[in-house]
Every structure is written in C-alpha cells, then in structure tokens.
Amino acid sequence: MAEGFYEGFSNQTLWPLFHYFPILFKFDTRQWRAYREANERFRDVVLTHARPGDLVWVHDYQLMLLPRLLREAAADINIGFFLHIPFPSSSVFRLLPRREELLEGLLGADYVAFHTHSYLQNFRQSVLRVLGLDSRMDAVEVGGRSVRLDALPIGIAPEDFTKLLETDGPTQKRLAEIREKFRGRHLLLGVDRLDYTKGIPERLRTFRRLLKEALEMRGRAVLVQVAVPSRENVAQYRELRQEVDKLVGRINGEFSTPDWTPIVYMRRGVPRQELAALYAAADLAWVTPLRDGLNLVAKEYVACQKGGAGVLILSEFAGAASEMGEAFLVNPYDEERTAETIAHALALPEDERRERVRALYDRVARNNVFAWGDRFLANLGQAAASRTDRDGGGPAPLPTEELLSAFRTARARHLLLDYDGTLVGYAKRPQDAVPPPGLADTLARLAANPANTVAVVSGRSRFDLENWLGHVPGLWLAAEHGAVIRSPRDNRWEPYRSNYSDEWKQRVRPVLEHFVNRTPGSLIEEKEFSLVWHYRMADAVFGEWLANELVATLEGMLAETELRAHRGRKIVEVKLVWANKGEVLSRLASAAGRAAPFCLAAGDDRTDEDLFASLPEDAWTVHVGTNRTRARFSVPSPEEMRRLLARLADTTETDAALAASGTKDANL
C-alpha cells in the first residue's frame, strides 16, 4: 500500500501532472486505491489525537483527500490545507481520472492556500469546470460552508544560513577555502533534487552553449551542480540520473583543460555548512526549474548573499518568480536567451548586482517562514471562526410540523414565493423552466382560502408569469422583482412607480451588446424595467470573467443614477433600485387591508435576501438550497418546497371544509 500511495499515485500521477508533464503521468486504479487508503489511515491517526476546536494543518499533494475525510468524521475540527507544488491550469488538471474526488477532498478544508495567485486561479477554474461551482477570489461556497482561498508563498528561515556564515567557524573556514579555490573564476551554482521538473539537463545544455558562444567563459566559468538523488524507485528518476551523468561527462570531456573542469558534479546531498558556504561563494545561482511550486533554493541563495553582489537567475516557471522580480527571469526552455542573460548578468557593474540582491534579501528576510506560518494559522483561525458562527447562526432545517401548526392556527397568512430555483429548478434555457405538473393546482388551492394571500414574486417579466401562472385564480403576481404587480381582483398589472421612463436602456444596451459580441452563446434579455445579460450557455470560465468585468464597467457608469448592476445566477442584470422584492409585502398588506400574523417567504438567490430583510423577525423565511442566507430556515430543493406547499394546501382545504360545516374553531 505504501508504494502505491507514495511512489505510485503521489509521484507517478499527481507529481508529473501538476508539474505539466502529462506525457509522464500514469494512472493505475490500484495505486489510486492505495492513495485513498493511506489518506484514510492519516485520518484515523489524526482522529485519535484531535479534540473539538483543534486546528489541523494538512500539507501537500500526498494528502489531498484528507481534509474531506476529516470533515466527515469530525465536523468540529478546523482544517487548513497548503499545497507546496503548483496547481496546474484546469485544462491539464482535467486530464486526471478521479479529479472530482481530489477537488472535493480539498474542499473539506476551511482554508486552502497555494504559493501563488495563478495557482489559486487555476484551482478556481478547475472547481468551476469540474464541479460546476462558482467561487469568489477568496472563497468558494460548498454544502453550506465557505472554504476560504488564499495565495501565501512559503518563506525560509534565513538565520539558519546567515548564522552559520556569521558565527560558525568551520562554515567560515569552508567559505574562505572555496573563495580561494575559485579566485578569478565565475562560480555558478545549481542545487536541486535530481528531479525532471528541475531542468538539470536543460541547464547543462545551456551551459555548453555558453561555453561555445561566450569565449570569455572558457577556462573561467565553473558550474557546481549539487544534485540530491531522489525517488530512485521510480523509473523516470533513474533515467534522468543516467541522462545527467552522460551530459556532464560529455561537456567535461569536450571542454576540460589540465587547469580547468567546467562542471563539478556532486550527485549527493551536502551538509548544511557546505551548502551555506557554496551559496555565499557563488557569483550566480542558476535556478531554472521547468516547473516548481515555489523553489526554496532561490531564497536560500539570496539569504546567503546578505551584503553580497550575487546574481539570481530564476525560471519564470518557478512560483518564486512571482515575488522575486529583481532576479533575472528566464524561460529555461530557451537555452539561447538564457545563456545570453547569464553572460549579461555576470558582466553587470557590481553596484547594480548588489542593489538587486539587496532588494531580494529584504523581502526574503521579512516574509520568512515564521511570518508564513503565523499568517496561515491566523487565516485558518478566522476562516474556521466564521464557519462556526454560521453553524450557530445559519438557517436551521425547516421544522415542517411546527410550520404547519403555526399556519393552521393563524387567522390570516401571507405567502410570498420566488419562482426560479424556489418553486421550479433551473433549466438550461430560461424559457424551459415551465411550471411542473401540479404546481398551478397547489397554488390555486392555497389561494382559494380567503385567509391566504399568495404571491409569486419573481425577477421574471410579467409576460412569463402571466403565461405560466396567469390562469391561477386568486394568485398575486409580482414581476421584475416587484416593479410591476398584478392583483387577482382585476388581473391588471400596475407598476410600482408610474412616472417611469426607460430612456436609460439606450445608454446601457450598447455596453451589453459589446459583451454579447465578445461572448459566443450569451444574449440580452430586455424586460420592461431591466436589461439582463445571460451567459449560461457561454464557456463557464470566460463567462464568469466577463461578468465581473461587465459589473465593474457598469458600476462606474451608473454611479449617479437610480440604476444598479447585479450579478445573479449566470446573469448580470441592470435594474432600478426601487424594483426590489423587499417592497412587495407592503403592497400586499395594504391591498389585503391587514398585516398577516403568519408570513412565509421562500427564495433561493440574492434578490430574495431583500425580501427576507424586509420581513418581521418572526416571519417564516425559507431559503431553498445551501448558499449563505439571512433566512431563518432552509429546505434543500424546489421539489421539497413544492411538497411543503402541497401539505399547506391540504391543511387549508381541511380548514375551509370545517368552516363550511360550521364546526370550525373560533380561533381560525
């Protein structure tokens, strides 16, 4: 099991794929099972120690299933996850069999952090593409919980190196020896695990090119390459070792002279003192992974150049590049330009090199590993606290029997029901969300009781509502978020404001049209009181991205007007501030001539929150689904909501029958 877990799924499936080597990745069901089993073993051990309220910090790609396993077993512990390797672009991540389980595994955490923003963005895109879950820059909502997301590059403990150089006699002696040995030469240094992601063969070939093309480097430049053997049970690593051995032999054979060997190759680990002395002595650190989560060597080199003038050559594909802008960034696949950059950097005046490395040093010293750890734990603590608040203050599952009894005993009742996502599930095309069989009948039965005022309060146009529910006797319809309302008394639609002009649409429409032109599959819906850009049919990621951009554009444009742009489910809607579901209740109450002692409001999206906010505290506010809400109660789905309404309708009919037979309780 250990082999399938470690050498297998971790290092032959996840490692190559996450480092953009899809050609090297293998998938084997037995190894996957071993990976799952190993994660379960970790869970079992953690559970023997964890107490409610403990913080558990899970590290890296070997344990991506663990957060969820822990969450399921102990909902009351606080779980953070940090990924040390890149999170690849969603087009690569999608290649992975079992990709859903891995994402769901991570989403068991309260807080998930990556080295860089681009990994975070890749993760969000994968969550969207693979699981269909929208997210914000810093959070994703899942199963009624919020998972906080972050980019938090790891640091080093610079003193581990600087102390050795400043106070340790043997290290200082070693440094003096190395300096003496390389006097008058350029000492170039590579330090890596012997891993195909680290770009060692590419570096050797680039060095060969440098020796061929920059003649002043001959006899002068020495590349000291420390390569620590790693994962030797995996075939690709053994092959790499042979390839590097061969290349070193060839280049040394081609260029060596009796006084100079271009490559000093150390295929073994070296002690920390030796490493510190090498970092301090090197004129240039050659850190050119083909892909790397972050790369600590770059930071360690900079720490050892405190007060020095060393040059850092850094691959743009290392996570560290995103925070080490003063380094010389190179594309390691571009051997020609990398060689040129190295020659150029070594020839720079010492002052300029010193200035660059000083700026890098300040940042490495400040953003050290202790600051990283503190921030991670503080953020995890905060994320967990907001989950616990919600656990305490979020909606409770609707107590159906209690609701039925409150309904039964109330003299008058108001029911305000959203349509899409509340009475009816979402359809791919808005026009397909027709009322399911039985819905109109249930609403009619409810509305038939004179004690009930029943309204469907929707963002839809009056034409949609009229078309689908216009025939239901006794039903109030509020269209366009309450901008226009139809009373069942005369079936006439009345706008909320009479002196309304829609001249604003001429200014806003061209902006939306511009977005339609850029987004295949998107369209504009014109309603009487609003304009809506729909992108449900567009590419999910592109759609989300443009929606943000559209809202940002409109915000500036509409700032001084009574219009606002809102994001809904796969839509951006521009509407009037007063077209707001929160205004509907007072209209109904004044039409009914009384406030009702029983009020039920049900909805599923942000516009329904306006309605919930406008109701008295003891109203039965019901959220359909699992998102964040201010409603007091929740039901899981529109089906459940319809079942509930059918039970209310049964109750209401029994009441009516009792009343008719003269035996009705006087309280009703």
Based on the shown chain and the rule CB under 6 A, indicate whether residue 288 belongs to the binding site for ligand GDG: no
What's the min distance (Å) between Cβ of 304 and ligand GDG? 11
Of 201-209, 265-273, 338-346, 492-500, the window that binds ligand GDG (rule: CB under 6 A) is 265-273
- Using CB under 6 A as the binding rule, whether residue 369 contacts ligand GDG is answered as no
Q: What angle do CA 571, 577, 583 make, to 5 degrees?
A: 105
Nearest to 544 by CA among 134, 146, 150: 134
One-letter-per-residue 3-state SS of 214-247:
CHHHCCCEEEEEEEECCCCCCHHHHHHHHHHHHH
Q: Which is nearer to ligand GDG, 315 or 341 (CB)?
A: 315
Among 201, 229, 269, 425, binds ligand GDG (CB under 6 A): 269
d(CA 187, CA 189): 6
Q: Under a CB-based contact definition with an 8 Å cutoff, are residues 126 and 90 in contact? A: yes
- Answer whether 552's CB lies under 8 Å from 564's CB: no
- Of the pair 155, 262, the CB lying nearest ligand GDG is at 155
| Helix or strand holding residue 84 (H, E) | none
Interface residues for ligand GDG in 227-246 (CB under 6 A)?
A: 228
Binding mask 532-561 for ligand GDG (x = CB under 6 A): ------------------------------
Kindly indicate which of the ranges 292-300, 327-335, 400-408, 537-545 contains the residues binding ligand GDG, using the contact rule CB under 6 A: 292-300
**Which strand (E) or helix (H) includes residue 266?**
strand 263-266
Nearer to ligand GDG, 231 or 570 (CB): 231
Task: Supply the minimum distance, in Å, between the C-beta of residue 152 and ligand GDG.
Answer: 11
The least CB distance from residue 186 to ligand GDG, in Å, is 21
Of 48-56, 232-240, 286-294, 654-662, the segment contacting ligand GDG by CB under 6 A is 286-294
Binder of ligand GDG out of 179, 272, 411, 497 (CB under 6 A): 272
Nearest approach in angstroms of CB 148 to ligand GDG is 20
Q: Which residues 6+ apart lie within 8 Å of 664 measured at CB?
A: 655, 658
- Sign of the four-CA dihedral 171, 173, 174, 180: positive
Contact with ligand GDG (CB under 6 A) among 7, 300, 418, 605:
300
The rounded distance, in Å, linking the Cα atoms of 387 and 602 is 24
Closest by CA position to 36, among listed 113, 102, 110: 102
Query: Is 293 or 421 the residue whose CB approaches ligand GDG more closely?
Result: 293
Q: Whole-number minimum distance, CB 269 to ligand GDG, in Å?
A: 4
Rounded Cα distance, 229 and 267, in Å: 7
Q: DSSP readout, 421-478? A: TTTB---SSGGG-PPPTTHHHHHHHHHHSTTEEEEEE-SS-HHHHHHHHTTSTT-EEE
Distance of closest approach, residue 349 Cβ to ligand GDG, in angstroms: 30
Enter the tokens of residue 67: 């957060």
- Helix and strand numbers (H, E) in the chain are 24, 25
Footprint of ligand GDG on 48-87 (CB under 6 A): 84-85
C-alpha 408/C-alpha 654 separation (Å) is 10
CB of 335 to ligand GDG, least distance (A): 21
Beta-carbon count within 10 A of 584 CB: 24
User: From the CB of 270, what's the least distance to ligand GDG, in Å?
Assistant: 4
Q: Pairing between strand 530-534 and 311-315?
A: unpaired
* Centroid of chain to Cα 286: 33
Q: How many residues bind ligand GDG (CB under 6 A)?
A: 18
Q: Which is nearer to ligand GDG, 226 or 457 (CB)?
A: 226
Catalytic residues: 418
Q: Which stretch binds ligand GDG (CB under 6 A): 45-53, 236-244, 288-296, 563-571?
A: 288-296
Number of alpha carbons in the 13 Å side-chain half-sphere of residue 484: 22
The reply to whether 373 sits near ligand GDG by the rule CB under 6 A is no
- Which span (242-250, 293-301, 494-502, 524-532) binds ligand GDG, by CB under 6 A? 293-301
Q: CB nearer to ligand GDG: give 120 or 226.
A: 226
DSSP helix/strand/coil, 195:
coil
Which part of the chain contacts ligand GDG (CB under 6 A), choosing from 206-214, 291-299, 339-347, 398-406?
A: 291-299
Contact pattern for ligand GDG over residues 85 through 104, marking x by CB under 6 A: x-------------------
What string marks each residue from 113 to 132 as x (binds ligand GDG by CB under 6 A) or -?
A: --------------------
Residue 312 interacts with ligand GDG (CB under 6 A): yes or no: no
Stretch that binds ligand GDG, among 72-80, 270-278, 482-490, 492-500 (CB under 6 A): 270-278
Distance of CA 96 to the CA centre of its chain: 18
**Stretch 143-162 residues interacting with ligand GDG (CB under 6 A):** 154
Residue 84 or 99 with smaller CB distance to ligand GDG = 84
Burial class (CB in 10 A: 0-12, 13-18, 19+), 471: exposed
Work out whether 321 is an interface residue with ligand GDG (CB under 6 A): no
Cβ proximity of 155 and 372 under 8 Å: yes
The binding track of 190-229 with respect to ligand GDG, each residue x by CB under 6 A or -, is -x-x--------------------------------x-x-
Q: Which stretch binds ligand GDG (CB under 6 A): 289-297, 307-315, 365-373, 588-596?
A: 289-297
What's the min distance (Å) between Cβ of 188 and ligand GDG? 16
Least distance between ligand GDG and beta carbon 295 (Å)? 5
Residue ranges in 328-367 that form contacts with ligand GDG under rule CB under 6 A: none
Alpha helices in 156-225 (DSSP H): 159-167, 169-181, 200-213
- 609 lines the binding site for ligand GDG (CB under 6 A): no
Angle, vertex CA 218, rays to CA 214 and CA 220, nearest 5: 110
Nearest approach, Cβ of residue 240 and ligand GDG (Å): 14
- SS3 state of residue 634: strand
116, 2, 108: which is closest to 56 by C-alpha? 108
Applying CB under 6 A, the residues found at the interface with ligand GDG are 84-85, 154, 191, 193, 226, 228, 269-270, 272, 275, 292-297, 300
